[in-house]
Structure 1
Amino acid sequence: MSRPSASLRTAVVWEVLRGALDQRAKLSDRAELAVLDTGGGTGNFAVPAARLGHRVTVVDPSPNALFALERRAAEAGVADRVRGVQGDARGLFDVAERGAYDAVLCHGVLEYVDDPAEGARNAVAALRPDGGTLSVLASGLGGAVLGRALAGHFTEARQALTSPGGRWGEGDPMPRRFTPEQLTALITGTGLDVVSVHGVRVFADLVPGALVDTEPDALDALARLEAAAAELPAFQSVASQLHVLAQVPPRAAPAAGG
């Protein structure tokens, strides 16, 4: 069964991220931000960010993904603003600079690393200490449970629901999944302030692609439905992915006479 397009499934994240980059540019009084995209792959978010005028460094372990990133950036006319380097979250500072970035994207990373808390701390350590924005996208537990159940795999759905990592069995390709509470606790544990939480792909992974293709205006209607449900906790709990936006807390003003 085919699914709606990838652009629909990432639309909620991009809208939040674009707004956050615009706000960060205003707060920092810099039109061109330094952005680090860890696990950025072929540039689904890096290239659009570069098209906004920002400089983006993409760290990814796959040479093939980085090659595709280079080609994609060239086709978009932003090759001079996108740099791809081979590396991973654990050895992030072998290829990236500490405290140097206005925004860090950590998408599809924390569910794969051996130690999610370490991965989150590394992402935060890359942010400018005087102000920076972190965007985290990770697999949601509820979406996996719901998906397995609707496919008739009830034992696997229960296994995902009750196992510590949210996996439905040995054949599950996803090493780990999070509830909204687990993911936000992971981020606040680094010392950042959580700005927003969104559920991503609440419906898109469940709707047959043929239905979207045959019904007039169905794709736009589905996109609007996803956007409307994204901020509601009831739907975040059953989303296939969770998006958390966080920022470095403002420094306290010095006491009078201090």
Structure 2
Amino acid sequence: MSDQPRPRASLRTAVVWEVLKDALDRRAKATGRDTLDVLDTGGGTGNFAVPVARLGHRVTVVDPSPNALFALERRAAEDGVAERVSGVQGDVLGLFDVVERGGYDAVLCHGVLEYVDDPAEGVRNAVDALRPAGALSLLAAGLGGAVLARALAGHFTEARHALSDPAGRWGDGDPVPRRFSAEQLTGLVTAAGMEVGAVHGVRVFADLVPGVLVDTEPGAVDALLKLEAAVAELPSFHAVATQLHVLGEKRA
């Protein structure tokens, strides 16, 4: 997998990265521009922003944490892309206090909707930041993956609770405020005026396989990466994915 600096860590990001990279390539060809303007809402320390900048694109990261933005600045400098990465403090619900509407070829909204009070408004803002035919990369926690994980850990009551809870939470100790089904996420995207291009299940197996197996078995990381890629677009596995990824295109 290209631009994945740490093989073990890539189990969490590889599927999304490959989809995003292909989407940026298509957008660059469609516009005839090698350098795109990319917005990463909630981009934190630059797990995606810095690799996107290494592709030659300009990336603006909006994040509420000043510490994360400081780490982003340092990371971008260490990777030699500081001139293509800028960070600004803010959040997706107040997005247009800090960035312009309709100014971006692609918007990343990864791990954000779980934590905002109004996910629908968050998606609408992300879409409004796009230029016509721009791409939205939306990644959020999946309900089914949490249910499966609690059940496999022997917490059967919590697993059942998550199924009936409106926010998909398994109890008061759940650190994730909200989870989504694939239907909920695609509904948010289409309601905001986007065409859904693809839906991917992310970390279908990676969070369930014992770490010692992946770390010690020769070739296990590569084999697991290939398995994750093989099932990512299969709807039958979306229901058990830890995360769900939706790629959308703004209507022209």
User: Same fold by TM-score, threshold 0.5 exceeded?
Assistant: yes
Cross-structure match for 1:184 = 186
Which amino acid in 2 is paired with 1:50? A
Cross-structure match for 1:134 = 136
Separation in structure 2 between the aligned mates of residue 238 and residue 179 of structure 1, nearest angstrom: 10
Cross-structure match for 1:57 = 60
1:197 to 196, 199, 221: 199
Q: Secondary structure at the match of 1:172?
A: coil
Cross-structure match for 1:30 = 33
Cross-structure match for 2:90 = 87
1:103 to 101, 106, 115: 106
How far off its partner does 1:216 sit?
1.0
Cross-structure match for 2:228 = 226
How far off its partner does 1:131 sit?
2.0
Unaligned runs of 5+ in 2: 1-6
Cross-structure match for 1:71 = 74
Cross-structure match for 1:20 = 23
Contact kept in structure 1, 2:110 and 2:138, CA below 8 Å: yes
Cross-structure match for 1:254 = none
Percent identity for Structure 1 against Structure 2: 77
Q: CA RMSD in A?
A: 0.9
Unaligned runs of 5+ in 1: 251-258
- What is the total number of aligned residue pairs between the two structures? 246
Separation in structure 2 between the aligned mates of residue 208 and residue 67 of structure 1, nearest angstrom: 34
TM score, norm. by length of structure 1: 0.94
How far off its partner does 1:116 sit?
0.5
Contact kept in structure 1, 2:8 and 2:221, CA below 8 Å: no
| Structure 1 moving runs of 4+ over 4 Å | none
How far off its partner does 1:28 sit?
1.0
Q: Secondary structure at the match of 1:195?
A: strand
Q: Secondary structure at the match of 2:83?
A: helix
Cross-structure match for 1:256 = none
Q: Which has the larger radius of gyration?
A: 1
Which amino acid in 1 is paired with 2:84? R
Q: Secondary structure at the match of 2:130?
A: coil
Separation in structure 2 between the aligned mates of residue 93 and residue 236 of structure 1, nearest angstrom: 33
Cross-structure match for 2:13 = 10
Cross-structure match for 1:253 = none
